[in-house]
Structure 1
Amino acid sequence: MKSDVPVPFTEDQVIEFVKKYGDSYISELVTGAEYYAVYAFICETTEQRMSLEAQLTASGISLFGGSLSADFQTKIENVCKVSSSTVTFQQIVSGLKDPHLPSQDHIIDYALRFFDLQIDNPAIISYESSSYDQVPGFPVNLLDQIRKNVSYFTDPNGDFTKKGIDINELINQCENIDNIYKFYNFTQDPKINSVKELAYIDLKKLKSQQDDFTYNPNNKYSLPDLPSLNEGKPALQFNFKDSPTYGDDGGSVFNDINQSTFLPKRTRLVNVKLYSGKYVDKLIATYECTDPIKRTYVCEHGGNGGGASYDLQLTNGIWVKSISGQSGKYIDHLTFESSNGQSISGGGNGGGAFQCQIPDGYFVAGFRGRSGSLLDQFGAVFAKLLPATWQK
């Protein structure tokens, strides 16, 4: 100990000492630079997590680490596309003043070159600490209760840590589902928010104990009641319905909708366009989603003939309100109307009339049918959110 630092002997002296100097000292410090590129897959159920692990393994991505390779980007992109999990992406750099983060498709090359970059703003990468008990002249066992408290708060296998992780996971799942609800204006599941609020209260209880430890390090702590964990974990629920199909059986089958990923990735139809003459030659549907790999994608069905319609733009809060048309051997005519009163039409006057009825509580997710040089067959796919289920 330094000569100007008094060695504590009483409980009050221990509390003041720990407040000022902590319960241990840093015995080793490593500085340098680090780069992280993180894909986070949000799984709501054990089955979804196991499916993701199987997809990662099948793509050649080890769950237990490995070396970077040039084809890793392709592998992770393929998993992002097929996974039903919500996927986020984030990059973090420390130790560099101006890191110039790469675009998402160049992260592997950046990571492989990272060791060649100049560390011009070193950051703390890691450290080790040692107990004051090891310092000559420090009373033995004086910090026993504080050691127990430190273990209570930091033991990765302890109840405090496990319950804290459970509550954070619960909050993350509730927020993820609530964000999906808000995106689709779904308001029929109040339990998600009520449990989330309860989880925040429980998390505050744990943080309150941590804060108290700062001022009362010699106190005795036990796990508080955490009622939010009695509810289990929520899982997103939804349903899809197909409209009848109109037209004939020519051409090749198409379906724009991946039902397992559509709602979890907050996908929505944002634009519809037609090319037509005597018949509907082509249907073009544009979709947006939260997938970090491919946020916008276009599905085209039909040939290259006909004249273009206007674009039916479905901005935030605007949905397809009605779909009608005429059909025979082909799709003779189509009309789309949006909830703000805009509409587009294309095609001739042949065939029999049809009205594509949108079921109560559902919205138009996208389209299916058959196509070749023309739009041979047409149908809509409808989606509906349901209240989440809870699993303990």
Structure 2
Amino acid sequence: MADKSFLDWPFFEARHRDLAERLDAWAGAELGGIDHSDVDAACRELVTALGRDGWLEHSGAEGDARLDVRTLCLIRETLARHDGLADFAFAMQGLGTGAISLFGSPEQQAEWLPLTRTGKAMSAFALTEPQSGSDVANATMTAEDDGEHFILNGEKTWISNGGIADVYTLFARTGEAEGARGLSAFIVPAGLKGFEVTERQQVIAPHPLATLRFTDCRIPKSALLGERGAGFKIAMSVLDVFRSTVAAAALGFARRALDEALARVSERQVQGAPLFELQMVQGHIADMAVDVDASALLIYRAAWAKDSGAARVTREAAMAKLFSTDQAQLVIDRAVQLHGGDGVRHGQKVEELYRDIRALRIYEGASDVQRVVIARQTMGAFLGGT
């Protein structure tokens, strides 16, 4: 039984506690029967179920409504604890249309958010390029102004939901300036002429991932999201919201690993006594518990600060993602160790978690990139205060 005492922390309101309880019950009842052997089909089924039962309503906000980051984090933590692919399905609906929620015109929001929030359309966030992963400012894909249209040329890669999404939030260079100031954001529906999926990428924890190629792909001027040249700002604003949720997913994996480890050491007998009686094992459990609680504190501090009106939580979100993903890796590794040979057997939950966690230390800003962000933010605050 996962520890839920953190819900009594002052970061949360009654509505958050109610949501967490209802989602936990829903996930326990609904997610066990979904077949993961066909990842694309499983993701479609998960998006449909999440939309049908109202959970995707929290993935986007229309008009003057704001995304509630604590809610997003609680949903991702809870889903990840039950099923990593369910967390992925929810996360991509939020990340894929986050820019539409934050910067979309009323017309753009009205066209897409009712579909993504009900599970009738799947979304994706197309930012990464083959030569510019974390170096977003040096993206090379272009969107050439051609009067009534923009013409897209270039590639995107490692795009989650690539190949199965109905709509992509895509970033391309419109040339207002060099570097970050020359990028713009666009809403690009699937199926356009000149838009093709050139590769489906296979990874250790199966997810739908793809490389996309655009060759003289024409999109209307109405596809522009926000202002020209504001693409970098839009991308960073979206990541500022959703980076904490990546940490929350890692926390969900870590909580499940701790639960699996506790069950194992309480049931497994060594020399006639539970494995837990060994002091070395107690030390592992203690370290795991500390890492879980410390992660939760960093995550929900960042989420609470954003929900309380902070313009940016770049430093707080980076700290949460760095610590929580790195420590979740350690928590899960300890859980595998405590399971012995069973820990690396295919089909065991801890083996699945071991594969699930690794990508979270890379996407939406790798751990070393987060260290750079934290250091620069910390130095900036120091110099600003002197």
**Structure showing greater Rg:** 1
Same fold (TM over 0.5): no
Structure number having the greater strand percentage: 1
> TM-score interval w.r.t. the shorter chain?
under 0.3
TM-score by length of 2: 0.25
